[in-house]
Structure formats: C-alpha cells, structure tokens
Chain A
Amino acid sequence: MYPKELRYSKEHEWAKVEGKRVRVGITKFAADRLSDVVYVELPKVGSEVAFMQTFGVVESVKAVSDLYSPVSGKVVEINQALVEKPEVINTDPYGEAWMIVVEPRDLSELQRLLDADAYMALIGERQS
C-alpha cells in the first residue's frame, strides 16, 4: 500500500523520481481518510510550486483538503483526466491518480521527505 520506491510527505503526498522529473500524488492513507473524492483543483502547467506549499485542493463529500508539493519547481504536466474523473484517487492513488509532474529546482529536497517505513510509522500502519 506504500511503495518502497516513493518518498512521502507528512501531509500525505507521495513523490516519485522519474529521471529529472518528479511525479506527485496523494497516498492511499489520505485517499481513504477523504473517501469518495469528487473534486480536484490542480495548478496550471508552467506555474511554480514550492516545497511543502499548497499547489491545489482535493475535496470529498465529507471534507476539503489542501495539497502540498513535496518538491519545489515548475509544473510541466498536470493530470487533466483526474480533474474529470477524480474518483480514481480512491481506487488507484499511485497510478492513474497522479496529480502533477514537477521539474524540480533542487532534488535534494526529497531527502527531507519520509521513506515508506517512516511514513507508515507516521500514520500508525504496521510495516509489512
């Protein structure tokens, strides 16, 4: 449920390094807590995001939650399909439900994020 190859923020975003880019989404834990996501607001391609600053909003029937960028840089891709079909956040948080791709200014920021074990400890999940 918490892939080893990802880095995790304390605000429940994940970051995946893909060469010189970083793909970003929210964790299964966050998706489960929200449940039934109905709306996602993402930044424009070309906009700047900053480390642990808000880049968008995710909303379920129950609650609304800010999205925090796990890395600083320029947004080079957004998942437009997700905006149209936000419910996939609940079914495929690490795959189809990616949110943005960032061209990072400083990849070392990722070192300040948690690995899978530390993240699972944070959310109180037993390590598998």
Chain B
Amino acid sequence: MDEPLKRTPLYAAHVAAGARMIPFGGWEMPVQYSGIMEEHRAVRTRAGLFDVSHMGEVDLVGRGAGPLVQWLVTNDVGRVALNQAQYTPMCTPEGGVIDDLLVYHVGDDHFMLVVNAANTVEDLAWIREHAGGDVQITDRTEEIALLALQGPRAQEVLARLTPAPLEAIRYYWFLDGVEVAGRRALVSRTGYTGEDGFELYVDATQAAHVWNAVLEAGRGAGILPAGLGARDTLRLEAGILLHGNDMDKTVTPLEVGLGWTVKLGKGEFIGAEALARQKSLGLPRRLVGFTLRERVIARHGFPIQENGRVVGCVTSGSFGPTVENSIGLGFVPPAHAEPGRRIAIEIRGRAVEGTVTKLPFYKRPTGGA
C-alpha cells in the first residue's frame, strides 16, 4: 500500500470537527468524532451522519448494461424496478465472493453499482473484463460523495431540507434528482446500521454544503457525525457482513448466510454452476453469530473451540454497545451452527465461553410507521 491515501471532499470538515482519521480501503477516513459508543447510541436512538464517500460508484449505461449486471451478480436484477435498489454478491466462477454491492436501477439501460472502497479497482477490472457490446462503464467514485443519514429520526431531519416525499420512498427504493438543501441528490432508503435511514449521493463539489446542512437541520434532534468505528459496531449488531472480514473470494454466499441473494433460477451467471453444486452437496462451513459471557472482544482470526477442539475462526468481533455484550461472527462446521450451541473463543491463550446466537443480535423496534 504505497499509494498515497485518498481523501473525500469532507476531509477538511472531519479534521475541523476533531475526528480521528485512519487509513481504510485506500482512503483517509474518520474512525470517530466524539467517541464510538456515543456515536453508536446517537444512531440507535436519534440520528447519525456518516461520510461514506470512499465507497465506489460504477455507472453502466447502454442496452448491454442490464444483461451485464445479470451475468455478473448472483441476485436477480430482472426483479429490480426503476428507482429500486438491490443488495447482491458478485462471485468468481468458483462461487467466491469478489465483492458485495448495491445495484441501483437508475434509468432505462442505466445501472449504478455501489461497491466497497477496498475493492473498487478490482471490481472495475472484473466488470470491464466481462463486458460485451453496447455498455459504457464509468468509474464515478471521485465525482460522487455519499452521505449516510441513519437513525429513527433520519426522515424527520431530512424532511427539513427537501420537498421530496420521503415517506413514499420505501426500503431499498430511491428517488433521483431530488433537491436536498438546494442541491441535487439521489436519495435512497438504504443503510448499513440496522436503523431506518437514507443514503444521499451528491456531487462531490456539493458534499460539504449538504453535510453541514444535514448536521444543522439535525441539531435539535440530537444528530452526531459518526465514524467508521460506530459504523462497524452498528452493522455487527445488525448482523450485516463486512467484505474483507466476514467474506472474500475463498468463501461462497451460501456459506455466509447470503443464500437469499443467490437466484439459481434466474438464468446463467458467473458462479452459478459452482453455487448450484455446493447447494446440492452441502456446505463445508457456515458463518454464525456468537455471544460471549464476558466483555472481552473476540477479534478477527481468533480460534473458535468446541469442547477444547478448534472448529473454526472468528471473522468479526466487537462489544455491542446496544446489546451490551461481546458479540461476533465466525465460521464453524454446519453441524455446530445451530443457535444455543456452546462454544469458546480462544483469546490470548484463554478459552472464553460463548454461545452460537441467531442473527441479527439487534433488530430495531418496528412500531407505527
């Protein structure tokens, strides 16, 4: 990693706000402002604003765009209506997860893929390599800034800045060309926190204006800027996977519990054969959630034991500020995967007791609309 770190258009705003900056996926990103716990709780109970402009945006335009996406990903893009988004893995022919991404159906013959920062270059190369005729592929990462406004009061805050009918945007749908704080934005009801909320795609040159406007509009609601630290504890509690930690090219979507995103009936796609075979033969391992009986943290790579024998390893672990437990994800043999099963995590030479736990660890209360 000798390349200089990239900075989002909000870099100066983060530094001015006292953020602690860290390298992440080739970018210099804020890991925290006031503190991970505080930011986490703000998102769970009020609202938080994240700069996730490091995520990659790839535009596919042309009559070949739809068929190309359908060939590249495991989910069925044919079911995605105009102004709808979809979560999907993108796999190798062996079924390994190259990346997990969002597909936005932006227009007729126009899709936008939103990919992980650390994978943007590799994804682009892969997409170009598999592109046939009549599709234009454009990397728009640098020109698009992405702000995630998340939390139970997200809609109320955003409504102060836009005339758009936010309540009409359902989960995993979006509106393009919406005015937010006087600037043009694509607004989708999506996120990575387990809370209600929106993601705002804006022109990079307008990012600081929109960022400040959202923080200002949310002041009365108790909004906080939130960093990657809180983003990680929030997604983990919500049982959402992180590519590069919980999955990579050596594991399949079926092994990590993403079977619902693998549509073998949709027609041919890269990885279909291998995934169909694995589905019929059975899985070699499964990603499960676990809860520890102490507050000590199980970190990526720590061994998972059952009855003193190593049976797997941890892929993600943290203290869950809302569930108030040490939680994590890891691989175990399928026979050990049922919730309630006693396991132990080897932490600095000590076996810390825990239990396989059904995901998600946290589910937001859904009362009223």
Contacts and interface: CB of A to CB of B under 8 A. Distances in A.
- Tell whether A pairs with B: yes
A39 B37 contact: no
B309 interface: no
B36 A86 contact: no
Contacts of B348: 57
Contacts of A64: 297, 299
Interface residues of A, number: 13
Interface in B230-259: 233
Contact of A59 (B31, B36, B233, B296): B296
B35 A38 contact: no
A59 B32 CA distance: 17
Given A35-B36, A36-B37, A39-B294, A61 B299 contact: no
Nearest to B34: A35
A57 B35 CA distance: 21
A62 B295 contact: no
A48 interface: no
Interface in B272-320: 294-297, 299, 318-319
Contact of A35 (B32, B294, B295): B32
A35 B297 contact: no
A61 B40 CA distance: 12
B229 interface: yes
Interface residues of B, number: 17
A57 B299 CA distance: 15
Contacts of A117: none
A39 B297 contact: yes
A61 B318 contact: yes
A47 B233 CA distance: 35
A115 interface: no
Contacts of A36: 35-37, 229
B35 A39 contact: no
A11 interface: no
Contacts of B37: 36, 61, 87
Nearest to A90: B35
Contacts of B326: 38-39
Given A61-B36, A61-B319, A62-B31, A39 B295 contact: yes
B295 A86 contact: yes
A90 B37 CA distance: 12
A62 B294 CA distance: 17
Contacts of A57: 348
B364 to A, nearest CB: 21
Contacts of B31: 62
B319 A39 contact: yes
Interface in A46-104: 57, 59, 61-62, 64, 86-87, 90
Given A61-B233, A62-B31, A62-B229, A38 B319 contact: yes
B279 to A, nearest CB: 37
Nearest to A83: B295
A86 B326 CA distance: 14
Contacts of A61: 36-37, 229, 233, 297, 318-319
A66 B318 CA distance: 18
Contacts of B32: 35
B261 to A, nearest CB: 29
A39 B296 contact: yes
B348 to A, nearest CB: 7
Contacts of B299: 64
Contacts of B295: 38-39, 86
Contacts of A86: 295
15 contacts: A35-B35, A38-B295, A38-B297, A38-B319, A39-B297, A39-B326, A41-B296, A59-B296, A61-B229, A61-B297, A62-B31, A62-B229, A64-B297, A64-B299, A86-B295
Given A57-B348, A62-B31, 6 more contacts: A41-B296, A59-B296, A59-B297, A61-B233, A86-B295, A87-B37
